[in-house]
Amino acid sequence: MPPIPTPNLASPGFKADPHPTYARLRAESPVHRTVLADRQVAWLVTRYDDALAVLKDEQFVKDRTRVARRDGPGRPQWAPGFVRPLATNMLDRDGVDHRRLRTLVQLAFTPRRIEALEARVQALCDELLDAGATRGRMDLVAAYALPLPVTIIAELLGVPAADRGRFQAWSNNVVAVSSAGDLVRGLPSIWLFVRYLRRLIAGRRARPRDDLVTDLIRAEEAGDALCEDELLAMVFLLLVAGYETTVNLIASGTLALLEHPDQLARLRREPELMGSAVEELLRFTSPVDIATERFAREDVAFGGARIPRGEMVLAVLGSANRDAAQFPDPDTLDLAREPNRHLAFGQGAHYCLGAPLARLEGRIALGTLLRRLPGLALAAPPDALRWRRGLFLRGLAELPVVL
């Protein structure tokens, strides 16, 4: 067979419809060696069972400094001094280090706190739609899908309303990084973000409040508190990861419903399906398209390929979630699909800590949209929609609709 062309996985053009490429990779080269935009070698793992193994198997590690090398222990990539503390976040740790950080943040990020947000999420959805309804049309991303989770995570962490536009702009530049060139262009945003967070944390140390930053400062397990760099990295991670997935779920989920009017009509008739509908939209749209990187701890034979130690491994969630070996008729949107063991939130030790919040926001946001806007329709052809640039996430840059 001719070689499978290597697309730019981070480009908006690819993100608009990655599934034909993923289907071919699953069929012909399920563990596929490619070269990313920054010339780094990566292995794309596209079948469900293989992706699940990458997410759960300890031979694939998050911390590249734990990767064995022939010339000695692994070394982190060079980064400016102000960026290095961000590498202490739990997303880039393994084993005991990861469990320690996750346990500490779970003490502050409790189910009770999430459940208590339901009324606030509902009120905010209504406020946003009230504002949009006066115009008769809206960009669903900018006017609804984005401000909802941004406001909720900012309120949780205690970020003042006047500052939310700034941290959102910095976050957009951070998640768009997929090459060394992107990183260089993103450094000013990262520097401003880090400086802002250090001031926010210092303010909470001096004047504690009823918010998540204060709780993280106080969080202790067996007398082991977060150090300053770990606290900075945790707040940074929560601010960035705390809304990006939900934005994509609401916007891409709405688009999927509008493109499948039979399923949209069914959900309007049977609103009790909303829970399973959110799970199916997570599977079908995969807001996190590619899980963050892992590294082969040793040379490993995997999925018919041999991955050298130290090389990057990427579990392609958007492909795994369309694998016919796991999901019957995987390209069909079925809001009552059962079972639905999708990998949209990952799996294993690094399963998304914010999954309950994303599900809550998605359920209320989509339910409110359908209940209040019976005439909702696209205001542009689907193939004219713009998608965001970035390796790991898949989301719309805008979604113009008429109300």
pLDDT one-digit tens code per residue, 376-389: 999 999 999 999 99
Q: Highest mean pLDDT: which of 95-109, 159-173, 195-209, 329-343? A: 329-343
The confidence score (pLDDT) of residue 130 equals 93
Number of domains in the chain: 1
* Structural domain boundaries, residue 397: 12-402
Spatial distance between the Cα atoms of 112 and 102, rounded to a whole number of angstroms: 17
Percent of the chain past pLDDT 90, that is, above it, reads 64
3-state secondary structure of 312: strand
> In the predicted model, what is the mean pLDDT of residues 187-195?
87
Spatial distance between the Cα atoms of 403 and 401, rounded to a whole number of angstroms: 6
Pairing between β-strand 224-225 and β-strand 220-221 as defined by DSSP bridges: antiparallel
> In the predicted model, what is the mean pLDDT of residues 12-30?
96
Look up the CATH number of the domain holding residue 232. Answer: 1.10.630.10
* Residue that the structure tokens 């399920």 belong to: 30
Contact between 114 and 359 (Cβ < 8 Å): no
- Locate 289 and state its tokens: 């398209």
pLDDT at residue 178 above 70? no
The confidence score (pLDDT) of residue 132 equals 84
Residue 312 lies in a domain: yes
* Residue that the structure tokens 């040379």 belong to: 299
Pairing between β-strand 400-402 and β-strand 137-139 as defined by DSSP bridges: antiparallel
Residue 283 lies in a domain: yes
> In the predicted model, what is the mean pLDDT of residues 119-130?
97
The confidence score (pLDDT) of residue 66 equals 76
The amino acid occupying position 291 is A
Exposure string for 75-86, b = 16+ CB within 10 A, e = fewer: eeeeeeeeeebb
Q: Is the peptide bond before 339 cis (omega within 30 degrees of 0)?
A: yes
Confidence of residue 3 (pLDDT cuts 50, 70, 90): confident
Residue 3 lies in a domain: no
The confidence score (pLDDT) of residue 76 equals 53
Contact between 362 and 253 (Cβ < 8 Å): yes
Q: Please give the DSSP secondary-structure letter assigned to residue 145.
A: I
pLDDT at residue 71 above 50? no
What is the CB neighbour count within 10 angstroms for residue 292?
15
Q: Which pLDDT tens digit goes with each residue over 201-253?
A: 999 999 999 898 998 888 765 577 788 888 999 888 888 887 889 999 999 99
Range name among 134-138, 258-262, 270-274, 349-353 with the lowest pLDDT average: 134-138
Q: Highest mean pLDDT: which of 81-90, 106-115, 172-181, 368-377? A: 368-377
The confidence score (pLDDT) of residue 377 equals 97
> In the predicted model, what is the mean pLDDT of residues 50-67?
92
Contact between 55 and 329 (Cβ < 8 Å): no
Residue 196 lies in a domain: yes
Residue 344 lies in a domain: yes
Nearest Cα to Cα of residue 255 among 149, 148, 141, 336: 141
Spatial distance between the Cα atoms of 393 and 323, rounded to a whole number of angstroms: 19
Range name among 54-58, 146-150, 216-220 with the lowest pLDDT average: 216-220
Range name among 67-81, 118-132, 249-263, 377-391 with the lowest pLDDT average: 67-81
Considering the chain, what is the average pLDDT of its residues? 90
Spatial distance between the Cα atoms of 203 and 286, rounded to a whole number of angstroms: 37
Residue 1 lies in a domain: no
Residue 155 lies in a domain: yes
Nearest Cα to Cα of residue 245 among 360, 128, 385: 360
Residue 228 lies in a domain: yes
**What φ, ψ does residue 88 adopt, rounded to 5°?**
-85, 10
3-state helix, strand, coil in the chain (%, to 5): 55, 10, 35
Range name among 135-139, 172-176, 316-320 with the lowest pLDDT average: 172-176
> In the predicted model, what is the mean pLDDT of residues 150-161?
91
Spatial distance between the Cα atoms of 41 and 119, rounded to a whole number of angstroms: 46
